[in-house]
Amino acid sequence: MGPKADSSFGSKVDYSPRSSPSTRPKVYLIKPGSLLRDEAGNLLDARSSVALVISASRWIIVDTGLKGEEKEILQGLQKLSIRPEEIDTVINTHSHPDHCGNNYLFSRAAVLCPKKDDQIASGVRVMATPGHSLDSISVVVDSDRRVVISGDALPTFSNFIKGVPPAFHIDKEMAVKSMARLEDIAEVIVPGHDRPFSLSEKRYIDLP
């Protein structure tokens, strides 16, 4: 039987199962996200980024992509010599199918439904970033640099450069405010549908 989503949390809950030493968590890109549009700008295909956060107490996958991307995800993990069953935690930035289509790959992981300010592990917390959807969250990782896995609150490098919110949103004002909050705190963004980028350098960068 697969893991059940655990949503019974209040604010500032500590999910950490063990004490956390001072080691800073690391963020790895398992696969970049993508968007495909036709010449008129209509969306044809959307696939989310998949990121791995390795902390002292948890191995966390953030978003699991679109159903059918299993091979690419497994290959990304294999490059790090990690098996899917070693992942103990899955977090989805929101519930759209292009972000949670492969949760089942991580059969031993707890699928968390964290809320605003919940502490997932030492140096890893959640912030609410609604606008694209009501349930949108971002995962803030205090690594060597502050990395924010933004989901669709900041979906592409182009959104950042142009200063425009995601094209698909339920509330534009909320989406704009969420983007601004992300830009205020992040040094590096892992966007929902693009490659990681540095805010200060305004360019794509490689994660470890």
Write down the pLDDT at residue 71: 96
Residue 170 has a pLDDT of 83
pLDDT value at residue 21: 52
pTM: 0.87
5 inside domain: no
CA pair distance 98, 66, nearest whole angstrom:
4
Beginning with the edge strand found earlier in the chain, give each strand of the sheet holding 26-31 in spatial order.
26-31, 50-54, 59-62, 89-91, 110-112
Strands 89-91 and 110-112: parallel
Q: Within a domain: residue 7? A: no
Token output for 146: 């502050």
Is residue 10 domain-resident? no
| Residue 40 confidence (pLDDT) | 78
Q: What is the CATH number of the domain that holds 65?
A: 3.60.15.10
In a domain, 12, yes or no: no
Q: Is there a domain that residue 15 lies in?
A: no
Domain that holds residue 70: 26-200
Count of the separate structural domains present in the chain: 1
Residue 105 domain-assigned (yes or no): yes
Q: Do residues 52 and 31 lie in contact, with contact meaning Cβ atoms separated by under 8 Å? A: no
pLDDT in single tens digits along all 208 residues of the chain: 333 444 433 334 444 444 345 589 999 999 999 888 888 777 788 899 999 999 999 999 999 999 999 999 999 999 999 999 999 999 999 988 889 999 999 999 999 989 888 999 999 999 999 998 888 999 999 999 999 999 999 999 999 999 998 887 889 999 999 999 999 999 999 999 999 999 999 999 999 7
Give the pLDDT score at 168: 78
- Tell me if 68 is assigned to some domain: yes
